[in-house]
């Protein structure tokens, strides 16, 4: 279009000159003098400039120019009333900012696909048997078999042993690395290309110990090796053994989840050499260590994959008679959050995402109502301008277009502000301390999806906000307005504005109730009885294998460490544990309990457990109910013993005395343990779970390579950090330590309070934002109404009305609006109760305290907002008011 | 130039000018000046085109692809742009002519109802 226009216009000048020359020539032939002939030709041709202008117009795209003109005019109008523009843009920026920030969370958690080739076709496998929890763990033998039986379904299938903590040393400086052991085709299957060097090859990792190579993640390379390219090809030590760094994974690739950075990758068959994996872990059918990832062939859908996997499951089950007919294997799409199978609440993440997006959207709606209110007021005062333009020939659609352009312009400017605010907010969100040494990444970065969302929201906002005032203004009756010229605000307008504010108050109350419920839920979990006392305890985690120790050396080290820790001044007690409550590591096993008949409908007994040293129950202040604690005499070769929780005793021994009873577990199939004590239940995994069966075994009898030293201190635990880590390094200078923090801080993890804090904080922010917007709305409407009534108030006062009566009159108007708003808000909040209940612990979604508290707060603040215009109205000077009209 | 009185000349409506241009080009390609002359001549100078207004009209027709442009040499060996009717323009002309006849007929019936009835 553009090039055609250019070409056509290029020779217009020449054409016109040519035309006039011909006409002149004709005239001369008719006998005119050349000068006269030229003059006549010019006159006959007409206005050359106008002709050129009109010809150019033929080629110009009219609507583009009109929009440009509208935008220019809109900008001028905004500049003319900077106060209005500033308030509107700020309001919209707050609303859009809240939405953008929340959306960036949702984007990170739910929407943004993993940076792998065709992520939509990549699945992981989950197995489950009737009554049992779904599991992503498969044995290597099963993995091979599934792969061999489904070549027509999956083009690639690969296995990975996830999240192993390894110590990586370079120049005798050992630091933990979260690594994985992967099948040779792992990177090929995901379609990953190296940033530097090469990745692990399909040929590597078949023979135990044969390929000591390491690929590290981009961010680990940047942080641990400061991005030194020479690291490729260099030898480092992993758990004390030499390994060659062969390459760097591409930037942004964090393994199977976008939330945790997988820092290192080594071939599967290196696990027995580098890590404590048993030598037969690639052949034993019971050693379910592996997550299986597969890529669907392009022409295969999930349905076909599921039925093919079911056939495989039946075949696999034949080898394990216990599982025949009840084993199922299914493929699950690999989303951005990684391997999330949460059989109880599969849709939790999308659900809470939707909830918060909805809350943020409500905030924006409140903001929009404020703007709509302002625009309505302005539409009144601009009715005259519109009528004049219409009288001068502007069509109705041009007027509507112009007003809409103005509001969209406003919204887009608000959108820019919103994106800036949202950037700040999500920056703040992603820097929340997670209190873990795990490389958890909250990458709430703004990608094109977030920008598209912000732009879409802003555009929609502009249209929604502007459409009513635009239609109303353009509908105006030209004659009436130009003749009357005066007040045009009607009772109907006022009712519309009041209705907007009622809705605003309702929305705001709903947000406040939701915020209140989340805050009360957080309060509940923070004050719930955990069964142990987290105050005054310092945690230090360490893994002697990362410093190159073997099991005997590590046991020796732990023994020495405990002894010297107990004699540190200021330490009341010290103990070791394999895991800490609400931590990221835990242990669990299936049990066989002597004398307990498993009911037919139940799966076999299962319990989480912890491996702890003597002194643990004293350090954690877990109440011993019966029997005895672990003693130093419960050593490696002494008779195996266990201490069980109250819940386990009740469940499996039904109130009989469990002391002296025996049970064995899948983790230790070769011997059984005798129960020597019963302790109070603790909350070790989550706040919601009914306290489930739990037991403890002596650390000496159930050695774990990674352990946490816990010391109960006389003073604040933070003050003992230097002494305790100093002690560790006096025993072994290169021993890496991690998660050095008080137990109270360790509870603020993703499994602990963190999500509750996060939800409560976010909901509270949105609630406060909503409250502010609603109050501004109330203030705006009441003060506008009061100013419209200045004349009337003047007359009333002149006729002898008391100032208090005036105050009551204005207040009364506000009061009705507030009561109506609160009622609507209560209904709206109650309507959300069922959804909300999913996310609340220890507080009902219809909690009366929250409802009344939120109503009271909103009512009070809104009344205060009414007070200012009411007070001003009370002070009206009758003389001024009357003269003004 | 013209012997007619000013008041007898008819100011051209935009659409009418388009129609006249298409009609003129039906006889063969022509350059701008020739088209203006032809319109004046054929209407016996009743229709007075302000010659300049021809150009916006020509460009409008080009944009609608009713006519096309080609370089050519005029009768006195001067290079000029020749405008030519396209098949699309030809169809449009038939359509417009029919419309025009209808309109003209209608106007005629309104202005001289008696004569019409008399026939």
Every domain of chain A and the residues it spans: 2-60, 119-333, 348-526+754-884, 537-746
- Residue A248 pairs in a beta bridge with A196, A216
Burial class (CB in 10 A: 0-12, 13-18, 19+), A39: middle
Supply the ipTM of this predicted assembly. Answer: 0.79
Q: Is the pLDDT confidence value at A878 over 70?
A: yes
Q: Is the pLDDT confidence value at B1 over 90?
A: no
Residue A603's contacts (CB-CB under 8 Å, 6 or more residues apart) are A129, A130, A131, A132
Identify the band that residue A673 occupies on the pLDDT scale cut at 50, 70 and 90. very high
Q: Cite the beta strand spans of A732-782 per DSSP E.
A: 737-742
Q: Is the pLDDT confidence value at A486 over 60?
A: no
What pLDDT score does A643 carry? 95
Tell which residue, A302, A783, A276, has the closest CA to residue A543: A276
Q: Which residue has the higher pLDDT, A389 or B1?
A: A389
What pLDDT score does A565 carry? 93
What pLDDT score does B7 carry? 40
Distance, in Å, from the CA atom of A510 to the CA atom of A499, rounded to the nearest integer, reads: 17
Q: Hey, are the CB atoms on A44 and B51 less than 8 Å from each other? A: yes
Q: Which residue has the higher pLDDT, A884 or A262?
A: A262
Residue A663's contacts (CB-CB under 8 Å, 6 or more residues apart) are A591, A592, A593, A594, A642, A652, A672, A673, A675
pLDDT tens string A354-412: 889 999 999 999 998 888 888 877 777 777 777 777 777 677 777 888 888 888 888 99
pLDDT tens string A842-864: 888 889 999 999 999 999 999 98
Identify the band that residue B49 occupies on the pLDDT scale cut at 50, 70 and 90. low
What pLDDT score does A276 carry? 62
Does B1 fall in a domain?
Answer: no
Establish if A55 touches chain B: CB-CB under 8 angstroms.
yes
Establish if B41 touches chain A: CB-CB under 8 angstroms.
no
Q: For chain A, what is the mean pLDDT? A: 83
- Residue A173 pairs in a beta bridge with A170
Q: Which of A11, A42, A58, A59 to mutate to test the interface with B (most CBs of B within 10 A)?
A: A58
Q: Is the pLDDT confidence value at A759 over 80?
A: yes
**Cβ neighbours, 10 Å, residue A170:** 16
Q: Which residue has the higher pLDDT, A52 or A209?
A: A52
CA distance A3 to chain B (A): 12
Tell which residue, A406, A305, A417, has the closest CA to residue A367: A417
Establish if B33 touches chain A: CB-CB under 8 angstroms.
yes
Q: Cite the beta strand spans of A646-736 per DSSP E.
A: 662-665, 668-679, 694-698, 707-713
SS3 state of residue A582 = coil
Does B40 fall in a domain?
Answer: yes
Q: Is the pLDDT confidence value at A820 over 90?
A: yes
Q: Hey, are the CB atoms on B56 and A58 less than 8 Å from each other? A: yes
Domain that holds residue B60: 6-118
SS3 state of residue A660 = coil
Residue in B closest to A37 by C-alpha? B1
Q: Hey, are the CB atoms on A50 and B52 less than 8 Å from each other? A: yes
What pLDDT score does B6 carry? 41
HSE at residue A496, side-chain half, CA atoms within 13 A, is 16
| Highest-pLDDT range among A107-111, A326-330, A809-813, B84-88 | B84-88
Tell which residue, A295, A355, A357, A325, has the closest CA to residue A123: A295
Identify the band that residue B117 occupies on the pLDDT scale cut at 50, 70 and 90. very low
Residue A321's contacts (CB-CB under 8 Å, 6 or more residues apart) are none
Identify the band that residue A481 occupies on the pLDDT scale cut at 50, 70 and 90. low
What pLDDT score does A343 carry? 41
Q: Is the pLDDT confidence value at B119 over 70?
A: no
Distance, in Å, from the CA atom of A194 to the CA atom of A199, rounded to the nearest integer, reads: 6
Are residues A771 and A508 in contact, defined by beta-carbon separation less than 8 angstroms? yes
What is the full DSSP assignment across B79-119? EEEEEEE-HHHHHHHHHHHHHHHHHHHHHHHHH-HHHHHH-
Tell which residue, A512, A421, A430, has the closest CA to residue A100: A421
Q: What is the CATH number of the domain that holds B51?
A: 1.10.10.10
What pLDDT score does A841 carry? 81
Which residues of chain B lie closer than 8 angstroms to A48, CB-CB? 52
Identify the band that residue A490 occupies on the pLDDT scale cut at 50, 70 and 90. low
Residue in B closest to A1 by C-alpha? B63
**Cβ neighbours, 10 Å, residue A663:** 23
Residue A623 is classified by DSSP as P
Q: Hey, are the CB atoms on A59 and B33 less than 8 Å from each other? A: no
- Residue A767 to residues A164, A173, A358, A782, Cα–Cα distance (Å): 41, 48, 12, 22
What pLDDT score does A345 carry? 44
pLDDT tens string A247-295: 999 888 888 877 778 888 988 888 777 666 666 777 776 667 788 889 9
* Range name among A45-59, A137-151, A272-286, A447-461 with the lowest pLDDT average: A272-286
Mean pLDDT of A571-579: 92
Q: Hey, are the CB atoms on A44 and B50 less than 8 Å from each other? A: yes
pLDDT tens string A157-206: 998 887 666 667 676 666 778 888 888 888 888 888 888 888 888 888 77
- How far out from the chain centre does Cα A715 lie? 37
The beta-carbon neighbor of A46 closest among B1, B37, B50 is B50
Inter-chain CB pairs, A–B, below 8 Å: 54
What pLDDT score does A837 carry? 85
CA distance A399 to chain B (A): 27
Q: Is the pLDDT confidence value at B45 over 90?
A: no
Q: Which residue has the higher pLDDT, A94 or A401?
A: A94
At residue A637's C-alpha, the angle toward residues A634 and A641, to 5°, is 40
The beta-carbon neighbor of B63 closest among A11, A45, A59 is A59
Q: Is the pLDDT confidence value at A233 over 70?
A: yes
Establish if B21 touches chain A: CB-CB under 8 angstroms.
no
Q: Which of B12, B59, B62 to mutate to test the interface with A (most CBs of A within 10 A)?
A: B59
Structure tokens at A435: 């209190």
Mean pLDDT of B32-60: 80
Which residues of chain B lie closer than 8 angstroms to A44, CB-CB? 1, 50-51
Torsions phi, psi for A169 (to 5 deg): -115, 140
Which residues of chain A lie closer than 8 angstroms to B51, CB-CB? 19, 23, 44-46
Are residues B32 and A15 in contact, defined by beta-carbon separation less than 8 angstroms? yes
Q: What is the pTM of this model?
A: 0.71
Residue in B closest to A59 by C-alpha? B63
Establish if A18 touches chain B: CB-CB under 8 angstroms.
yes
Residue A567's contacts (CB-CB under 8 Å, 6 or more residues apart) are none
Q: Which of A5, A18, A48, A56 to mutate to test the interface with B (most CBs of B within 10 A)?
A: A18
SS3 state of residue A624 = strand
pLDDT tens string A595-645: 887 776 566 688 889 999 999 999 999 999 999 999 999 988 899 999 999
């Amino acid at each position: 279009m553009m090039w055609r226009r250019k070409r056509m216009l290029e020779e217009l000048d020449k054409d016109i000159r040519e035309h006039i020359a011909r006409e002149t020539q004709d005239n001369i032939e008719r006998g005119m003098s050349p000068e006269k002939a030229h003059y006549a030709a010019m006159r006959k041709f007409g206005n050359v400039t106008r002709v050129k202008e009109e010809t150019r117009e033929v080629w110009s795209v009219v609507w583009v120019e009109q929009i440009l003109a509208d935008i220019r005019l809109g900008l001028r109008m905004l500049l003319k009333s900077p106060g209005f523009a500033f308030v509107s843009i700020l309001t919209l920026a707050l609303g859009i900012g809240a939405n953008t920030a929340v959306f960036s969370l949702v984007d990170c958690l739910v929407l943004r696909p993993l940076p792998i080739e065709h992520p939509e076709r990549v699945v992981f496998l989950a197995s489950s048997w009737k009554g049992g929890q779904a599991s992503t763990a498969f044995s290597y033998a099963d993995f091979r078999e599934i792969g061999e039986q489904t070549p027509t379904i999956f083009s690639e299938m690969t296995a990975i042993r996830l999240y192993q903590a390894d110590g990586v040393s370079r120049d005798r400086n050992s630091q933990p690395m979260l690594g994985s052991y992967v099948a040779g085709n792992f990177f090929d299957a995901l379609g990953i290309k190296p940033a530097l060097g090469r990745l692990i090859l399909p040929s590597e990792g078949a023979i135990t110990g044969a390929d000591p190579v390491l690929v590290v993640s981009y961010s680990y390379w940047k942080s641990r090796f400061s991005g030194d390219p020479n690291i490729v090809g260099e030898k480092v030590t992993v758990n004390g053994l030499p390994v060659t760094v062969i390459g760097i994974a591409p930037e942004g690739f964090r393994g199977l989840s976008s939330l945790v950075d997988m820092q290192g990758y080594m071939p599967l068959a290196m696990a027995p050499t580098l890590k404590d994996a048993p030598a037969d872990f690639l052949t034993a059918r019971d050693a379910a260590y592996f997550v299986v990832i597969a890529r669907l062939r392009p022409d295969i859908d999930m349905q076909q994959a599921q039925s093919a996997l079911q056939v495989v499951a039946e075949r696999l089950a034949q080898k394990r008679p216990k599982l025949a007919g009840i084993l199922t294997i299914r493929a699950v799409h690999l989303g951005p959050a990684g391997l999330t199978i949460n059989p109880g609440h599969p849709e939790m993440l999308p659900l809470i995402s939707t909830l918060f997006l909805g809350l943020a959207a409500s905030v924006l709606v409140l903001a929009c109502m404020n703007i709509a209110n302002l625009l309505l007021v302005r539409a009144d005062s601009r009715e005259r301008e519109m009528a004049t333009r219409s009288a001068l020939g502007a069509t109705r659609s041009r007027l509507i277009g112009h007003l809409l352009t103005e509001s969209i312009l406003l919204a887009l400017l608000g959108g820019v502000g919103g994106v800036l605010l949202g950037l700040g907010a999500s920056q703040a969100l992603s820097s929340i301390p997670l209190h873990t040494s795990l490389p958890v990444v909250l990458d709430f970065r703004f990608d094109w999806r977030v920008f598209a969302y912000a732009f879409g929201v802003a555009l929609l906002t502009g249209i929604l906000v502007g459409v009513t005032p635009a239609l109303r203004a353009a509908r105006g009756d030209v004659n009436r307005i130009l003749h009357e010229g005066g007040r045009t605000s009607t009772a109907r307008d006022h009712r519309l504005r009041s209705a907007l504010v009622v809705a605003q108050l309702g929305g705001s109350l709903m947000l406040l109730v939701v915020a209140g419920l989340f805050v009360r839920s957080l309060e509940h979990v923070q004050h719930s009885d955990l069964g142990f006392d987290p105050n005054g305890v310092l945690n230090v985690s360490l893994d002697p294998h990362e410093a190159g120790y073997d099991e005997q050396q590590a046991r020796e080290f732990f023994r020495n460490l405990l002894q010297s820790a107990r004699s540190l001044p200021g330490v009341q007690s010290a103990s070791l544990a394999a895991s800490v409550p609400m931590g990221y590591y835990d242990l669990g096993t299936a049990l066989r309990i002597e004398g307990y008949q498993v009911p037919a409908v139940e799966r076999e007994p299962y319990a989480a457990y912890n491996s702890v040293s003597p002194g643990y129950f004293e350090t954690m202040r877990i109440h011993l109910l019966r029997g005895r604690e672990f003693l130093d005499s419960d050593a490696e070769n002494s008779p195996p013993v266990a201490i069980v929780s109250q819940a386990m005793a009740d469940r499996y021994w039904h109130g009989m005395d469990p002391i002296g009873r025996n049970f064995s577990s899948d983790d230790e199939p070769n011997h059984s343990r005798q129960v020597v004590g019963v302790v109070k239940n603790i909350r070790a995994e989550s706040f919601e779970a009914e306290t489930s069966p739990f037991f403890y075994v002596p650390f000496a009898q159930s050695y774990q390579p990674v352990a946490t030293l816990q010391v109960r201190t006389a003073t604040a635990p933070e003050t003992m950090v230097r002494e305790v880590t100093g002690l560790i390094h006096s025993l072994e200078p290169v021993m890496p330590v991690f998660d050095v923090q008080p137990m109270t801080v360790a509870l603020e993890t993703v499994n602990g309070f963190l999500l509750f804090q996060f939800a409560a904080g976010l909901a509270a922010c949105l609630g406060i934002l909503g409250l502010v917007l609603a109050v501004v709305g109330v203030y705006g409407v009441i003060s506008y109404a009061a100013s419209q009534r200045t004349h009337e108030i003047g007359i009333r006062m002149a006729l002898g009305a008391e100032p208090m009566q005036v105050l009551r009159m204005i207040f009364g108007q506000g009061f009705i609006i507030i009561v109506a708003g609160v009622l609507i808000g209560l209904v709206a909040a109650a309507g959300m109760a069922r959804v909300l209940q999913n996310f609340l612990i220890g507080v009902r979604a219809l909690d009366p305290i929250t409802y009344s508290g939120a109503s009271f707060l909103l009512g009070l603040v809104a009344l205060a907002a009414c007070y200012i215009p009411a007070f001003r109205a009370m002070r009206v000077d009758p003389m001024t008011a009357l003269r003004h009209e | 130039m013209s012997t007619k009185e000013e008041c007898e000349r008819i100011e051209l409506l935009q659409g009418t000018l388009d129609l006249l241009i298409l009609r003129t080009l039906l006889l063969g390609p022509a350059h701008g000046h020739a088209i203006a002359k032809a319109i004046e001549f054929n209407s016996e100078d009743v229709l007075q085109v302000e010659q300049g207004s021809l150009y916006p009209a020509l460009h409008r027709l080009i944009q609608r692809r009713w006519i096309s442009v080609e370089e050519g040499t005029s009768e006195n060996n001067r290079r000029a742009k020749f405008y030519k009717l396209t098949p699309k323009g030809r169809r449009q002309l038939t359509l417009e002519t029919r419309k025009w006849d209808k309109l003209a007929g209608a106007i005629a019936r309104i202005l001289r109802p008696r004569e019409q009835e008399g026939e």
